[in-house]
Chain A
């Protein structure tokens, strides 16, 4: 008959709270002393937002040379396959697929830089400006075929080329350039619908279409002003306000009512419906902000305003809460940033020609989900449809089990089953050596020390050490090597190490593989190191203590 004293009863015991009358003791697990615990509590946990962004895996896209900067990055609005256009040197480089793979580049102009690629709302066409002020339109699926249309009205580089986003407008295009000219094109006929000469008093470097109305555009210029244009009225701006610094980027927020502008080191958010009222101003970067983009968080469907600056940071701003939620560091100064419509890829272009890619790690279920979601760019996540439960579903029979208690309900909680670690269960069965080995295998120094202390209290530690077989002894020696000199555990573990060597010397010498001898060598090295440290500390103490004594005397 096996002896198993102190075993648990077959029936699960109710928790202590429920049985105040039952004075039989709870089981106390072998716990380390409080002095063995690290003094600071749990390190500051990551916020869910930070955890989300940390979950991105970073890589870089190769562009070839570092001589040119990546001035603009744009994703195709087509969701099915992320397609990225990067303006670099005299060409627009295309990348497609997941992960992004390079496709043939679009050579915009042989001898001038390409700027501001912009996809049409269906993702079929791509427009890009160049250093001479000529805007060309290309087919995305045939990038090498040459321009379909060439729009020339600008006299200087056109850094703003934008297709309207909303309303399925496929024929118009907004361009603006360093010549302060604003043009609204009818693309098929290659003629401007209207042009506004001297729309701003300085270079126009920023422009954005409204996500809710295809007639609305915003432009920002180095004259610090931001202007809102309505294609129906043309000519005169619908709204003008000043950002307070040279505007590098403007962006409508998904509602269409808010406009974000970036210039200098600040990002400002304006209420355009309310007549250009400043809603919020964020001074988050230390150097000039060059680009703004919207990033969609795949997990929750929320969108964030991303800003990239030449300080090498991409900052993530929650415009709903009006607070900064995360910042990402890049090794080089950034000129452009973009996030794929489904939020899986975040790219940032540097002034040295690198494109940094951060791609979200996905799990299988999310991938499936993605297949289901249509190709239309949905700014807000569609709510999962609730299936009506039928009696043929398994869940029908489980319904209501996860119901939360309402206020005022009397909650009768189910007795919680106390969970005990493996070593606690073994200790309860008086299988002392197994408990020690189990704790050693778990590789948590605190629980190992707790088990050792419990064994000491039971007068079984020495016998346990004597009973360990070779593999287990290796485990113990390895553990001692790693932890014996930690000040928290040293008091017990150095003694244990001595005991092990004293008791098991023969086994260690006679062992075949030499693994144990390796462990002993490690242990020895560690001891030598520790002694060296102690010597140094003593030296320092010796140096400091006369000084302390001196100052104490002086105080008296």
Chain B
């Protein structure tokens, strides 16, 4: 059984909770309660470095507030450790208390640290919480070097955690107490503390104070500890035997650029640092003077020290430069012969330490963040910014398996474009455009990636500004058709291109193959919206170039080579008063096509391309149109300076009601006349930016009073959609609404999502997706079998059956042919051979 989050009733759910809707004309009628069942998902797997279990069979990945344990052989989720109330920031696998060597292999214990200020000790094989240690401040990084303490005569393993926390320094606290104004920038301080994990208390004072909490790196032996702080590396030497917190010595290594990461050599005194400009610096023989204990440092200063700055305590310093922007990770191979580095380019660079020669593992598709080795270094994993963790087979760096989370929104500094997701409501999939020109299909109920469709055949390139992107993704209601729009931005008005692509579903949901490519569907104007007809294979694309086009799929043209081709072609073109068309939608039965010509809504008969009606103007250009289910109500959204959410009655061409409300997203239920609007809350004056900055309002189209409301976090860039209750989610469906329970999905700005029933009024009860592919473990091969594999089962030799032997008419030609072991036994041969010598003659009686 999965442990539920500690007290479910006291704490608000992570994303959605009871609303506190600010005073506003026409506020909500009643505060809504949370749903009975709520599925969350879409956590980031790459927020912190993962860790391998001691035998390398499991990978522990920090995912949001829990730690997910994946099997390295299958890449599937095995279990989850849930207990932190803040995001987990570090996971460290430690040997068990008894330090027997055999048991160390089977150890299944780990420490985790979270932003909630707790360190938790787990047995991850059983997903059991063993011990909790309280740290008063949010922990950002933790390492547990392998150190021991002299306890009475014997050396005993003693876990000491070095944690990097976010806390105010004493001075700042004093200042605050005195009432001095503290500069906000300087207020946040990172501290490096030591905790004795058995006693559960802090040991000594802070090792260091930094501007912000830094990532701690520890060497293999646990002897050295380092952080990269601005332009310096701080390195501490820790007495691993007989640990004493007073006996820690520190050196500083300087550089001219901001250092971003560091790594220690597994056996020698070499430390590598990577900086923000892509340089890798390697200091050899650091701390010779200070860490060796004797204070004869002064005599060595005269020695030749290549590249070492000032009075830094290091032998030599060399610099390598390949990366074009910051180095995100550095890692020495376990034998110390190679250094691996990675960064923005999405390439793992393997440096031969002695010569500086490079090898590459290119095209991982996304900037790289962390690199972690398994203890026997046969497998390693690399975390990418697109929320993927690749498991690499180590010497040849082939990707074995990939743990994929939901793709992150593409960070775009400019453009008014918003994050676009397509929803497949029947299959519970969301389609997310990714940085490397793919569309990821993500199963919301299972919280797993389904597939990735390469929309545009281009490789990921580390660029500062986006030049090509997928601007629209639209899925038909059944999920069997997809339409994508990709935009290539022109360079000084050269070579811009808009491409419309239609895709057909393959053998299963989420698999699509390209059907038709249309270049520049509306000459060079951009496309504002694409919508599919609910029944037929028909789609409409509206463009800012003042027209819209209706596309139909011409079915199964038998071409000359026998393949059935079904391409899309333009059926008709429409325009209204030379106004840019900004949104389009089909009605629930497909008989009416509504196209927004800026602030006017035009209604068309899609088959005959005839203008049916025009609805009076909205306040500002409409950016989204949607029919509320099968009803005659049309919902429109304006997202400009004069925001508006309006509901129109199509049957009498009039406005039903409207709000002045900035809506980030909206969606309509496909069957009923209800719809949901995600609206951003403006900051109340004086108050801090509210954690819950958005609100989801559920309306019935006939009534301007919201049915229910939910307040949510990170609403900027979020989107919502109704999904049908998937087959994988069968709780609470059999009541009230005839089995047609439709759930609402809210995907927030960082692509975390929650699925809930917006109309239920029961106490919140958070359940993770009930069905998980929890993989049952196979016993790992040990000993001989782990190296050479299973021996084939030996079977006792069967009795060799008699070889069928048929003498031909001329047996002397055939009896001795063939290989000798296949010859029949002598007893048989002899008679035949002798008979063959006596040539038979047919007796003729004539």
Contacts and interface: CB of A to CB of B under 8 A. Distances in A.
Contacts of B360: 7-10
Given A23-B390, A25-B363, A25-B460, A457 B488 contact: yes
B362 interface: yes
A492 interface: yes
Given A25-B460, A461-B495, A495-B494, A5 B402 contact: no
Contacts of B169: none
Contacts of B64: none
Contacts of A453: 488, 495, 497
Contacts of B363: 6, 24-27
Contacts of A471: none
Contacts of A461: 491, 494-495
A495 B493 contact: yes
B241 to A, nearest CB: 40
Given A25-B365, A457-B467, A5 B519 contact: no
Interface stretch (A29-37, A254-262, A518-526): A29-37
B396 A11 contact: yes
A555 interface: no
A24 B362 contact: yes
B458 A28 contact: yes
Given A21-B400, A25-B459, A28-B459, 10 more contacts: A4-B322, A5-B347, A8-B360, A10-B359, A27-B459, A35-B517, A452-B495, A456-B467, A456-B495, A462-B492
Contacts of A495: 493-495
Interface size bracket, B side: 35 or more
A5 B323 contact: yes
Contacts of A457: 458, 467-468, 488
A552 interface: no
A22 interface: yes
A10 B436 CA distance: 24
B462 interface: yes
A492 B519 contact: no
Contact of A9 (B397, B491, B495, B519): B397
Interface of A: 1-11, 19, 21-28, 31, 33-35, 452-453, 455-462, 492, 495-496, 499
Give the residue among B323, B362, B463, B499 with the most A Cβ atoms within 10 A. Answer: B362
Q: Would you list the 7 A-B pairs with minimal beta carbon distance, nearest first?
A: A456-B495, A1-B321, A22-B399, A28-B457, A5-B345, A35-B519, A495-B494
A3 B325 CA distance: 11
Interface of B: 278, 319-324, 345, 347, 359-365, 390, 396-402, 436, 454, 457-463, 465, 467-468, 488, 490-497, 499, 517, 519
A462 B491 contact: yes
Contacts of B461: 6, 458
B382 to A, nearest CB: 10
Given A5-B347, A7-B362, A9-B362, A22 B491 contact: no
Contacts of B465: 459
B362 A8 contact: yes
15 contacts: A5-B347, A7-B347, A8-B360, A9-B362, A9-B397, A11-B359, A453-B488, A453-B495, A453-B497, A457-B458, A457-B467, A458-B467, A495-B494, A496-B494, A499-B492
A457 B486 CA distance: 12
B462 A5 contact: yes
A296 B150 CA distance: 100
B398 A22 contact: yes
A25 B320 contact: no
Nearest to A10: B359
B359 A3 contact: no
In terms of DSSP, what is the predominant structure of the interface of chain B? loop
A21 B74 CA distance: 11
Contacts of B492: 462, 499
Given A23-B399, A458-B461, A6 B347 contact: yes
A6 B458 contact: no
Contacts of B361: 9, 24
Contacts of A21: 398-401
Given A6-B345, A24-B399, A34-B517, A459 B491 contact: yes
Contacts of A458: 461, 463, 467
A62 B216 CA distance: 96
B374 to A, nearest CB: 17
Contacts of B467: 456-459
Contacts of B347: 5-7
A22 B320 CA distance: 29
Contacts of A7: 347, 360, 362
Nearest to A452: B495
Nearest to A1: B321
Given A5-B347, A458-B467, A459-B465, A24 B365 contact: yes
A459 B360 CA distance: 25
Given A27-B459, A456-B491, A3 B362 contact: no
A4 B462 CA distance: 13
Give the residue among A25, A452, A460, A461 with the most B Cβ atoms within 10 A. Answer: A25
Nearest to A26: B363
Contacts of A2: 322
Nearest to B400: A21
A8 to B, nearest CB: 6
Nearest to B523: A491
A456 B490 contact: yes
Contacts of A23: 365, 390, 399, 402
Given A25-B363, A35-B519, A3 B399 contact: no
B454 to A, nearest CB: 8
A279 to B, nearest CB: 34
A3 B324 CA distance: 7
B577 to A, nearest CB: 23
A22 B494 CA distance: 37
A240 B519 CA distance: 71
Nearest to A462: B492
Contacts of B436: 25
A458 B399 CA distance: 28
Contacts of A492: 494-495
A240 B459 CA distance: 78
Contacts of A26: 363
A457 B457 CA distance: 12
A437 B171 CA distance: 63
